[in-house]
Amino acid sequence: MTELHTTRLGEHGSPVMFCHGLFGQGKNWTQVAKALADRHRVTLVDMPNHGRSAWTERLDYVEMADAVASLIDEPTALVGHSMGGKAAMLAALRHPEQVERLAVVDVSPVAYRSTDEFRGFIDAMLAIDLDAITSRADASAALEHAAPDPGVRAFLLQSLQRDGDGWRWLPNLEVLRRDLEVLRGFPETDAVYEGPVLWIAGADSGYVRDEFAEPMQARFPNVRRVTIKGAGHWVHAEQPTVFTEVLARFVDAD
């Protein structure tokens, strides 16, 4: 089983666990977690090949889902965004007794058509000569063509870490690039999760569409969809206040 790094906040209440998306880290959820930690025990997970978690030889959603489920020792509210959302959905389908409720953030249980944007990010990150840069600003300048949006660029650069006198990327970029097609897809399964599901979409994102409602409802019949205005794919970062209010109502519910 892949060893996953976790950060925990809060000492009382029911458990909530967060799974981040591609290029992320558990700490990306810190702002939301702090808003819940006065009444929930929150766990922030670094997914495989990200943050301080172990690297693997290949990407596999089943392995990701089982690794996340192995951290759960009582029924838990599981929250996942993008790649982490697919892993969370699969964890709920494979281990329903461990998932008390599920929040899926801007992703659907489908195979997406293109990963070109993410491939472009990875190629640009790999192209940076880490021995030649002297600051994070140098790396930002090198990424500007592939990631012109300053917010996206800042997000990617969170995974650039000082390593002695040099720098290193926390994600396993070579494996992520090779197996992007795995991330694009979703494993075939006949399993159904009957628990409550909150499906949060960014209004300006294309990851949650009307045509994806049928496959979502087939696997998660007790699903409720909420669309947040003024947000794209990184809903929780772009509209943190509204997102936190929506999520809190869901995880606080009896």
Contact criterion met (CB below 8 Å) for 135 and 106: no
Q: Which of 144, 174, 194, 245 is catalytic?
A: 174
Q: Which of 40, 50, 233, 236 is catalytic?
A: 233
Query: Is position 100 annotated as part of the catalytic site?
Result: no
How far, in whole angstroms, is CA 109 from its chain's centroid? 14
Distance from C-alpha of 251 to C-alpha of 254, rounded to nearest angstrom? 8
Query: Is position 233 annotated as part of the catalytic site?
Result: yes
Token couple for 166: 């040099």
Nearest to 78 by CA among 43, 105, 103, 106: 103
Query: Is position 82 annotated as part of the catalytic site?
Result: yes
Distance from C-alpha of 68 to C-alpha of 146, rounded to nearest angstrom? 31
Distance from C-alpha of 220 to C-alpha of 15, rounded to nearest angstrom? 21
Pairing of strands 40-45, 76-81: unpaired
- Strand ranges (DSSP E) for the chain? 6-9, 14-19, 40-45, 76-81, 99-105, 160-163, 166-169, 197-202, 223-228
Question: What are the helix (H) ranges across 37-112?
Answer: 61-69, 83-94
Q: Which of 20, 50, 81, 82 is catalytic?
A: 82
Distance from C-alpha of 128 to C-alpha of 230, rounded to nearest angstrom? 32
Q: Provide the annotated active-site residues.
A: 82, 174, 233
